[in-house]
Amino acid sequence: MSAVTARAHPNIALIKYWGKKDEELILPVAGSLSLTLDAFATTTSVELREGLAEDRLELDGLVRDGEQLARVSAFLDHVRSLAGASGRAVVRSVNEAPTAAGLASSASGFAALAMAASAAYGLDLDARGLSRLARRGSGSAARSLVDGVAVWHAGTDDESSYAEAVPAPPMGMVIATVDGGPKAVSSREAMRRTVQTSPYFSAWVSSTEDYLERMVTACRAGDFTTIGQLTEAHALRMHALIASTEPPIRYLRPRSVEVFDAVAGLREDGVEAWATADAGPNVAVLVQPQGAAETAARLAAIVGVDQVRVVGAGPGAHLLPEGCEVP
Ligand code: ADP
Ligand code: DP6
Ligand code: CO
């Protein structure tokens, strides 16, 4: 059988997902909201192959085993159970963003895999079904099925936990890469540690619910200033929470903090720019289209011009025509 190929973009959370209430189903403790980007795509091909004893994963040209293969194979087991199929697959994937660096490779990776694998195994899923499926690979992937701004409803069960679009004003991001290397502690592991050991966890859950409600209202109203304020404050709360685990985890580096300070300086100079960072040292700065160039120039002075990228709102995961396979 020929391969099915899909493409998905990462999303950066403005209201963060951090903590699961069900690890098997990947149900989050609270809802979250993100911007899907138009850069740093993942392209993934899935090919069902007769006679294969195990699934095979090639990521960025290297055959993967251990945790990375196990995660993909467990995801494919779920797809196979939905499809009533048993054949193994070869998965070939390329990330244009650095993998496991806090630039949402698990989101674009599992959104692309959900799209390609569901088609390869003959599942006929609607938008909500695809978002729910992607969620089973990586929670944040549920939002990469959606164009632009997406809210992921926490839900109470597998059926009710999915992402959908929210109307929002024009906005983009300036990504400052501080370090593209893999993080020492994966999002999955750090989240588990937070739920188990942080004394601040219940306050985080209630604060996130409150912020999400305000964020959805601000998006619908086109109120960019409030969107920015909530984004930066919520990111800092998440990093404070992560620092409160036992043993503690810190993802931000001195240079990441320098970027946050530079963004505050931009605001003093009248540019509406607001910083956030996922689970890694790299910083995403939320801007209006007219503020992108000046923000990029200011950040280039800190991290170097090659490490700065201006990105816009991008499309949800989609299938590519036959013949566009990952080689
Ligand atoms: P990130 O901040 O990049 O999302 P995570 O710790 O959440 O980092 O997840 C990184 C893991 O996601 C990788 O180690 C790998 O297991 C998985 N992953 C990333 N990209 C892909 C991909 N294209 N296909 C399959 N799995 C992927
Ligand atoms: C900080 O979705 O990578 O980026 O569900 O365990 O795969 P798993 O975790 P993941 O966590 C993302 C955390 C975050 C915030 C966010 O994207 O909302
Ligand atoms: Co991730």
Average pLDDT estimate for 7-26:
98
Helix/strand/coil (H/E/C) assignment for every residue in 218-274: HHHHCCHHHHHHHHHHHHHHHHHHHHCCCCCCCCCCHHHHHHHHHHHHHHHCCCCEE
Domain assignment present for residue 307? The answer is yes
d(CA 76, CA 68): 13
Which atom of ligand 2 is the closest one to the Cα of 135?
5
CA of 100 to the centre of ligand 3 (A): 7
> Contact, 116 vs 2, CB < 8 A?
no
Which atom of ligand 2 is the closest one to the Cα of 110?
7
d(CA 121, CA 250): 40
Residue percentage of the chain with pLDDT more than 90: 98
d(CA 111, CA 131): 8
CA of 255 to the centre of ligand 3 (A): 21
CA of 102 to the centre of ligand 2 (A): 9
Q: pLDDT tens digits for 260-271?
A: 999 999 999 999
Helices 105-120 and 66-83: crossing angle, nearest 10°? 40
| ipTM surpasses cut 0.95 | yes
CA of 160 to the centre of ligand 3 (A): 21
Residues with CB under 6 A from ligand 2: 13, 16-18, 26, 32, 106, 138-140, 187-188, 191, 278-279
- 169 three-state secondary structure: coil
- E strand intervals along 11-125: 11-15, 20-22, 27-28, 32-36, 42-48, 56-59, 62-64, 89-95
Kindly tell me if the per-residue pLDDT of 62 is higher than 70.
yes
What's the Cα-to-Cα distance from 325 to each of 47, 75, 114, 206, rounded to whole Å?
Answer: 10, 21, 16, 44
CA of 321 to the centre of ligand 1 (A): 25
CA of 295 to the centre of ligand 3 (A): 25
Domain assignment present for residue 171? The answer is yes
For residue 110, the ligand closest to its alpha carbon is 1
Kindly tell me if the per-residue pLDDT of 1 is higher than 70.
no
Residues with CB under 6 A from ligand 1: 42, 44, 59, 68, 71-72, 93, 95, 99-107, 109, 113, 186-187, 278-280
Residue 55 domain boundaries: 4-319
pTM reported for the whole predicted model: 0.98
Domain of residue 215, CATH code: 3.30.230.10
Shortest-distance Cα residue to atom 26 of ligand 1: 109
Which atom of ligand 2 is the closest one to the Cα of 17?
18
Which atom of ligand 2 is the closest one to the Cα of 138?
7
Contacts of 155 (CB under 8 A, 6+ apart): 27, 161, 162
pLDDT at 310: 98
Shortest-distance Cα residue to atom 18 of ligand 1: 106
Question: Mutation test of ligand 1: which of 69, 99, 188 has the most ligand atoms closer than 8 Å to its C-beta?
Answer: 99
d(CA 183, CA 106): 13
Tell me, what amino acid is at 263?
Answer: V
Domain assignment present for residue 326? The answer is no
Q: pLDDT tens digits for 93-118?
A: 999 999 999 999 999 999 999 999 99
CA of 145 to the centre of ligand 2 (A): 15
User: Which is it for strands 283-287 and 172-176: parallel, antiparallel or unpaired?
Assistant: antiparallel
Domain assignment present for residue 44? The answer is yes
For residue 108, the ligand closest to its alpha carbon is 1
Domain assignment present for residue 327? The answer is no
Kindly tell me if the per-residue pLDDT of 327 is higher than 90.
no
d(CA 105, CA 38): 14
For residue 17, the ligand closest to its alpha carbon is 2
d(CA 204, CA 244): 11
Domain assignment present for residue 152? The answer is yes
Whole-number average pLDDT of the chain: 97
d(CA 188, CA 69): 15
Which atom of ligand 2 is the closest one to the Cα of 104?
4
Q: pLDDT tens digits for 29-61?
A: 999 999 999 999 999 999 999 899 999 999 999
How many domains is the chain partitioned into structurally? 1
Cα distance between the two ends of the chain: 16
Domain assignment present for residue 324? The answer is no
Average pLDDT estimate for 141-146:
98
Domain assignment present for residue 158? The answer is yes
